[in-house]
Amino acid sequence: SQQGEEDPQALSIQEGENATMNCSYKTSINNLQWYRQNSGRGLVHLILIRSNEREKHSGRLRVTLDTSKKSSSLLITASRAADTASYFCATDAWGGGNKLTFGTGTQLKVEL
């Protein structure tokens, strides 16, 4: 069954605003990853957070992980039109052989 649920399903903001996406999952994980998918393209890795980490930063991205609540959030600060894409969380369970289980995705639209 589908591992992760993301919300919101769709998010529309103005350029310069922050965008927050949430991901919930069901089982214990080794790590959680966020990927971006531009329309008609493949997925691009953004950031990985391990189960023993609570927060991680990469440029304008901030990811948090709460293993007690089995949830993660991705914050994109000072969004740009080029951030328009679908964002997916993916979990890697312990002993899963790097088998990623993807969430349902959040479609982000950043308007000028």
Partner 1 sequence: DTAVSQTPKYLVTQMGNDKSIKCEQNLGHDTMYWYKQDSKKFLKIMFSYNNKELIINETVPNRFSPKSPDKAHLNLHINSLELGDSAVYFCASSLLREGRETQYFGPGTRLLVL
Binding residues (CB under 8 A) for partner 1: these are 2, 30-31, 33, 35, 37, 40-45, 48, 86, 88, 92, 97-102, 104-105
Give residue for tokens 């964002």.
87
Locate all alpha helices (DSSP H) within the chain, ordered by sequence.
none
Closest CA to 57 of 69, 47, 72: 47
Q: Quote the least distance from Cβ 15 to partner 1, whole Å.
A: 24
Query: Residue 79 or 86: which CB sits closer to partner 1?
Result: 86
Q: Quote the least distance from Cβ 50 to partner 1, whole Å.
A: 9
Give residue for tokens 């959030």.
73
Query: Residue 64 or 102: which CB sits closer to partner 1?
Result: 102
**What distance in Å separates the CA atoms of residue 11 and residue 23, rounded to the nearest whole number?**
14
**What distance in Å separates the CA atoms of residue 69 and residue 79, rounded to the nearest whole number?**
27
